[in-house]
Amino acid sequence: MAVTPSSVSITTSPEPSTPSLDALDADPAFALHRGGKLEVRSSVPVRDADDLALAYTPGVARVCTAIAENPALAADYTWVSRVVAVVSDGTAVLGLGDIGPAAAMPVMEGKALLFKEFAGVDAVPICLDCTGVEELVETVARLAPSFGGINLEDISAPRCFEVEDRLRERLDIPVFHDDQHGTAIVVLAALQNAARLTGRSLGDLRAVVAGAGASGVAVSRILLNAGIGDIAVADSKGLIHEGRAGLNSVKSALAADTNRAGLRGTTEDALAGADVFIGLSGSTVAEQAIAGMAADSIVFALSNPTPEVHPDAARRHARVVATGRSDFPNQINNVLAFPGVFRGALDVRAHTITENMKVAAADALAAVVGDAVSADYVIPSPFDQRVAPAVTAAVADQARRDGVARA
């Protein structure tokens, strides 16, 4: 039978409603973020025509002319030498993944806020609508004359490694991918204290790292530089080792420098008899695997918000347990590192951040704990007011020793 239009009933789904701003503001997180978390304030007065003539035309022309003749003067007569760009493409934001540059902005604003609050460093959040390595490098390089340092943030691996390496080669200001190196510095500091608590040195330890992304690679590298006894790194396909097919260049380099024991299999296989577990993968590890580690084991289950193994379960077997969360002891938080690292680098106008400067930052951070070290205190709180000054001084001193300081 033919169906006439008059006999057809069409039901449409209602359009999803967008919550009102008032409804969103009922959530305190939205209320706090309304209008953004940053503003620009002037550092000089403009009270009358004389002030205006100095701050802007005609006085500003004399300063511009001097800088044009001697570009190094920009470090003294503009804000450039004390301002950091916080740059992201939004491809690896927190635990949210690839959410894009617009959605990444609250995080980048937050990062700039932490720079200011913890070390007095002015920072500008910049979210870029491009994801290709070439585009990112070229865009950041073109922005660089406006800044004294570049903090790369939440750029997914493996692109983040090439972006950082190429910018470091191209620019004569510090370039620092915090997801890599901030995490690595704090992990090294906490592990130094955990080893000391258990009567060992780093050279006595065999570690297993779950995760070969930005943070996993950087943590492994800094531990190798600091003299870890041995370290095995696992990705989603298992332990990385020489001869394993399908490794990219970053993982191939790791294979050549790690896993001297030649272990094969999974993370849990490698944990048998291991001294240290460092989780940076978002995966899970069975409690039985933690139970099979060596005596006085150390577990850093850092995936956030869900650690690889619940801290309460890990504590039944490990001497020291750390997480990335603020509601358990020993929070591995990047804010312990990056504000002081940049403050120190900017204070001496360093043209790069060396591996030695990162290790010096970790040493200084570990020293803040001092003789008060305990199973629940191998790393200080981000709110410990000794942290940023200690890291700043250590980084600045090491920059001078490494010959990268210009002031």
Backbone angles phi, psi at 2, to 5 degrees: -70, 145
Per-residue pLDDT of 212-260, as tens digits, reads 999 999 999 999 999 999 999 999 999 999 999 999 999 999 999 999 9
185-281-132 Cα angle (round to 5): 85
Per-residue pLDDT of 39-84, as tens digits, reads 889 999 999 999 999 999 999 999 999 999 999 999 999 999 999 9
Annotation-wise, does 330 bind a ligand?
Answer: no
The domain that holds 335 is classified in CATH as 3.40.50.720
Residues 259, 145 share a domain:
no
251 part of the active site = no
Residues 99, 158 share a domain:
yes
Q: How many domains does the chain have?
A: 2
Annotation-wise, does 70 bind a ligand?
Answer: no
pLDDT on residue 361 = 98
Q: What percent of the chain has pLDDT over 70?
A: 96
Q: Which listed residue (77, 111, 237, 377) is catalytic? A: 111
pLDDT band, very low/low/confident/very high, at 26 (cuts 50, 70, 90): confident
Domain end point (choices 108, 142, 173)? 173
The domain that holds 142 is classified in CATH as 3.40.50.10380
Annotation-wise, does 333 bind a ligand?
Answer: yes
- Compute and round to an integer the Cα radius of gyration of the chain: 25
Find the mean pLDDT for residues 114-120.
96
111 part of the active site = yes
Question: Does residue 27 sit within a domain?
Answer: no
Q: Which listed residue (56, 77, 116, 237) is catalytic? A: 56
378-301-284 Cα angle (round to 5): 165
Annotation-wise, does 304 bind a ligand?
Answer: yes
The pTM is what? 0.91
Residues 398, 335 share a domain:
yes
Residues 219, 364 share a domain:
yes
Question: Does residue 139 sit within a domain?
Answer: yes
Per-residue pLDDT of 196-223, as tens digits, reads 999 999 999 999 999 999 999 999 999 9
Residues 271, 198 share a domain:
yes
Q: Which of 174, 145, 165 is nearest to 68 (CA)?
A: 145
Residues 384, 257 share a domain:
yes
Backbone angles phi, psi at 224, to 5 degrees: -65, -45
Residue 4 clears pLDDT 70, i.e. is over it: no
Residues 167, 310 share a domain:
no
Note whether 398 and 355 are within 8 A (CB).
no
Note whether 349 and 405 are within 8 A (CB).
yes
**Distance, first Cα to last Cα, the chain:** 90
Per-residue pLDDT of 139-193, as tens digits, reads 999 999 999 999 999 999 999 999 999 999 999 999 999 999 999 999 999 999 9
Measure the CA–CA gap between 243 and 131, rounded to whole angstroms: 31
Residues 254, 157 share a domain:
no
Helices (H) and strands (E) in the chain, counts: 17, 10
Annotation-wise, does 154 bind a ligand?
Answer: yes
Q: Give residue 206's domain range.
A: 178-343+352-407
